[in-house]
């Protein structure tokens, strides 16, 4: 027997015992897990569910922003980020590469579509390959790729080029009430964190616009793929609510175009403009210059603030409207009473205040003082007629000492300087005290709306994006009744004479067919060291007007700061202001179908439906009824008409009918702007008008073929202007200068 045999048997026995124990431990553990369903106190079913259950996010869409007519102003749209896959491991079939195989060829092909140089694309690809990156992007040029551009790139079949889908805010109208609508975006900072930047309605109503993301829970296999028979649990996303603004796209476009023309011609430092409905307080248009493009943010560095809401400034003589209203309400204004114009000393210690022409006009009536915008007249009204305490009460009644509460962020309040007698006097004619443009609009609603002052609104309603159900509707809100209806009517009558009287400062604001009531303003601008800027153009020129005078449908406020006026135009701030006010007011009244005051004196008929009729027969019928018919096109059947069927129009008014043939330009000599607009609307032309009165020149020659999107430019002149030019051979404008001499006077 081998002496080592006993030792080997003993070792085998020990190993047998050890493995036997381990077997029984494992067997015990197995049955224990089966019975309890737990490991380490943790339920195995929950762990398995956690491992094989996946959760995905269903992204909610941000609500749309629309105008009062349902035209989209801002919406979410699909956008894509361009990505290049560089990792060779992504390619499993050499015949169908899934990574960028040829950087040179890729760079050349992409540069033909995206806004990036071929060399720069090649550099990005090469550096990515060198640093062994899985994928690379192409900066700004590769972001916000549209669906159309994506399809173009995909059609090239470039290996390794793919896209990441995202949702991007889209502003289809470009520069369009940009500071009012605003924007919201997430900016990646240097430390990798995201910073949310927003303004305007996008900021103010962010909670309403922002939806709530949904989720989907599903069962997957080991590799994360959805199991065919797996359970799914879906929590739907709640999309953000839609915001309907009070803005009217057409009126806003009138305003944007007029401001663009004024900037091009007069290069002012600033423009603020608002169009409002005095019966509801709704803001139909609001704009400013400088402005910015909401997509590219180009221009945002020049003006971050909504100037109509966030900036207060000395209003100038537009403030006299409300001083006058207070005096009439208190029965302290006698239009026929005379006073000595020129200068007025508030107290023996104060320096005298002067009228804008320094010397005044001698003894004149208070009515003439209003027309000439006499500072002395309003100083005497505030101190001697009303009294400072009573005048201060009206400043509060007209809302000048608190914000309006409009649905926009950052609204500031006016700052009324009312400590010393001289401050109280200057406030009466619009200097020293600072208020906002929106406060002036709110106060003006009391003048236009028979004494009832309405809170301004930019939101009409909030609607559920998915169901279309109205969640909240904004109704007109009377915030004060500072004056009576009788007082408001008297104020409008007097303000009309500011425009119609030869002595008035508002001669440039006459609009054919409509009575305009309003007041000019020329405000000083504070400069360095607290001193006012000096120079004939160093003012904030403005006009606050309403029309038609007897029952105003619109209030328009325009302020232009430091326009570059030269030659005979120097100091005539009414020139650039009226270049905005007049076309905006006139075009908006026409668009809203507000009939001129002459309509009631003429025969009115309703236009029949001409669609599909023979051109020859329709022309005969219309001419027999006394209409001036203009045929647009060379076809034989009518495909369009303006005015529309059922519209009440004047006998002798032009009726434009569109045919199924090529559209050609008519001779528009002698036409009113209203008739020109009919042509522009039917033919899809972009209309620019200069002057007022009737057409004397057009850029599209008669019989020229009209294309959709063509620009139509018409020059208009009044009969008086045409007569003067004919008489003097267009060499002198002395008569015209004398007629509008009031515009040379600052008020």
Active site residues: 317
CB 107 within 8 A of CB 121: yes
CB 300 within 8 A of CB 175: no
> What CA–CA distances, in Å, run from 40 to 33, 45, 49, 52?
10, 13, 17, 20
What are the backbone dihedrals phi and psi of residue 217, each rounded to the nearest 5 degrees, phi first? Answer: -105, 130
Task: Give the residue from 400, 332, 339, 404 showing the smallest Cα distance to 374.
Answer: 339
For 26, phi then psi, to 5°, come to -65, -40
Q: Which residues are paired to 705 by β-bridges?
A: 664
Q: How far apart are CA 412 and CA 550, in angstroms?
A: 32
CB neighbourhood size of 536 (10 A): 13
Distance separating alpha carbons of residues 221 and 225, to the nearest angstrom: 5
Query: Residues with Cβ < 8 Å from 468, sequence gap 6 or more?
Result: none
Quickly list H helices, 592-733. 615-624, 673-683, 719-728
Q: Helix axis angle, 320-329 relative to 485-500, nearest 10°?
A: 140
Instruction: Specify the pairing of strand 270-276 against strand 242-245.
Output: unpaired
8-state DSSP, 193: -
Antiparallel, parallel or unpaired: β 554-561 and 604-606? unpaired
**Token digits of residue 305:** 């603030």
CA-angle at 327, arms to 326 and 331, nearest 5°: 120
Nearest CA to 49 among 227, 218, 235?
218
**Are the C-beta atoms of residues 560 and 336 closer than 8 Å to each other?**
no
What three-state secondary structure class fits 195? strand
Identify each DSSP E strand in 384-485 by its residue range.
453-454, 459-463, 470-473, 478-480
- Among 290, 295, 221, residue whose Cα is nearest residue 259: 290
Residue with tokens 């806003």: 252
Q: What are phi and psi of 472, to 5 degrees?
A: -150, 135
For residue 316, say if its preceding peptide bond is cis, omega within 30 degrees of 0: no
Helices assigned H by DSSP within 73-141: 103-111, 118-130
Strand partners, 208: none
Cα three-residue angle 637-641-642, rounded to 5 degrees: 160
CA distances from 720 to 508, 680, 693, 737 (A): 14, 26, 9, 12
Question: Distance between CA atoms of 187 and 542, rounded to whole angstroms?
Answer: 38
Q: Residue 68 burial by CB count (10 A; 0-12/13-18/19+): exposed, middle or buried? A: middle
C-beta of residue 547 within 8 angstroms of C-beta of residue 589: yes
Tokens representing residue 226 in the block = 């959805």
DSSP codes of every residue in 441-456: HHHHHHHHTTT-EE--
- Percentages helix, strand, coil for the chain (3-state, rounded to 5) are 35, 25, 40
Given the structure tokens 């430092």, which residue do they identify? Answer: 269
Q: Are 585 and 285 spatial neighbours (Cβ–Cβ below 8 Å)?
A: no
Joined together, the tokens standing for residue 338 give: 């005379």
Beta partners for 687?
A: 712
Specify the residue for token string 């609500």: 63
CA-to-CA distance for 282 and 235, rounded, in angstroms?
39
């Amino acid at each position: 027997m081998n002496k080592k045999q006993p030792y080997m048997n003993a070792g085998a026995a020990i190993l047998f015992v050890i493995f036997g124990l381990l077997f029984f431990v494992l067997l015990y553990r197995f049955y224990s897990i089966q019975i309890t369903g737990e490991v380490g106190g943790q339920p195995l079913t929950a762990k398995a569910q956690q491992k094989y259950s996946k959760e995905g996010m269903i992204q909610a869409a941000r609500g749309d922003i629309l105008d009062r007519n349902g035209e989209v102003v801002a919406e979410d749209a699909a956008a894509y980020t361009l990505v290049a896959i560089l990792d060779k491991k992504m390619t499993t079939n050499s015949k169908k590469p899934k990574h960028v195989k040829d950087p040179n060829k890729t760079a050349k092909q992409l540069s033909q579509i995206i806004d990036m140089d071929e060399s720069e694309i090649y550099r990005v690809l090469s550096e990515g390959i060198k640093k062994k990156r899985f994928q690379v992007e192409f900066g700004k040029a590769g972001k916000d790729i549209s669906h159309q551009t994506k399809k173009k790139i995909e059609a090239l079949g470039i290996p390794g080029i793919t896209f990441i889908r995202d949702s991007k805010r889209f502003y289809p109208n470009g520069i369009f009430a940009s500071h009012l609508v605003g924007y919201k975006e997430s900016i990646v900072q240097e430390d990798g964190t995201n910073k949310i930047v927003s303004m305007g309605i996008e900021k103010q109503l962010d909670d309403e616009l922002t939806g709530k993301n949904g989720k989907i829970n599903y069962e997957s296999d080991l590799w994360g793929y959805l199991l065919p028979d797996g359970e799914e649990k879906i929590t739907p996303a709640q999309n953000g609510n839609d915001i309907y603004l009070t803005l009217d796209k057409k009126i806003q476009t009138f305003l944007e175009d007029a401001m663009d023309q004024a900037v091009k011609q007069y290069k002012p430092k600033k423009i603020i403009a608002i169009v409002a409905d005095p019966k509801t307080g709704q803001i139909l248009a609001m704009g400013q210059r400088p402005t910015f493009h909401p997509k590219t943010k180009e221009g945002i560095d020049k003006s971050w603030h909504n100037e109509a809401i966030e900036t207060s400034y000395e209003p100038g003589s537009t403030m006299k409207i409300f001083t006058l209203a207070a005096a009439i309400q208190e029965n302290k204004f006698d239009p026929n009473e005379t006073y000595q114009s020129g200068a007025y000393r508030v107290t023996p210690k104060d320096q005298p205040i002067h009228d804008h022409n320094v010397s005044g006009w001698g003894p004149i009536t208070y009515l003439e003082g209003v027309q000439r915008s006499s500072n002395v007249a309003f100083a005497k009204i505030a101190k001697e007629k009303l009294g400072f305490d009573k005048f201060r009460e009206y400043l509060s009644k007209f809302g000048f000492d608190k914000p309006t509460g409009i649905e926009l962020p950052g609204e500031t309040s006016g700052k009324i300087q009312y400590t010393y007698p001289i401050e109280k006097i200057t406030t009466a004619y619009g200097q020293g005290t600072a208020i906002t443009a929106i406060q002036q609009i709110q106060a003006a609603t009391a003048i236009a709306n028979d004494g009832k002052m309405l809170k301004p609104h930019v939101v009409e309603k909030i609607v559920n994006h998915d169901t279309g159900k109205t969640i909240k509707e904004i109704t007109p809100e009377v915030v004060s009744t500072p004056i009576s209806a009788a007082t408001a009517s008297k104020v409008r009558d007097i303000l009309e004479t500011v425009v119609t009287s030869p002595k008035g400062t508002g001669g440039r604001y006459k609009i054919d067919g409509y009575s305009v009531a309003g007041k000019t303003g020329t405000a000083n601008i504070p400069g360095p060291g607290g001193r006012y800027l000096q120079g004939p153009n160093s003012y904030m020129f403005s006009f606050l007007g309403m029309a038609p005078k007897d029952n105003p449908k619109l209030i328009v406020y325009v302020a232009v700061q430091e326009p570059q006026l030269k030659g005979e135009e120097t100091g005539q701030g009414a020139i650039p202001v009226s270049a905005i006010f007049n076309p905006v007011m006139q075009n908006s009244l026409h668009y809203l179908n507000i009939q001129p005051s002459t309509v009631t004196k003429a025969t009115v008929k309703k236009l029949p439906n001409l669609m599909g009729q023979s051109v020859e027969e329709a022309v005969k019928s219309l001419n027999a009824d006394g209409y001036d018919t203009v045929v647009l096109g060379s076809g034989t059947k009518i495909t369009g008409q303006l005015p529309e069927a059922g519209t009440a129009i004047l006998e002798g008014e032009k009726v434009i009918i569109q045919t199924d043939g090529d559209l050609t330009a008519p001779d528009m000599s002698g036409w009113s702007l209203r008739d020109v607009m009919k042509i522009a609307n039917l033919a899809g032309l972009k209309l620019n008008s200069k002057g007022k009165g009737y057409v004397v020149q057009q850029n599209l020659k008669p019989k020229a073929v009209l294309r959709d999107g063509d620009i139509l430019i018409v020059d208009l002149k009044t009969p008086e202007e045409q007569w003067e030019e004919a008489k003097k051979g267009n060499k002198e404008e002395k008569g015209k200068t004398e007629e509008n001499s009031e515009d040379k006077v600052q008020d």
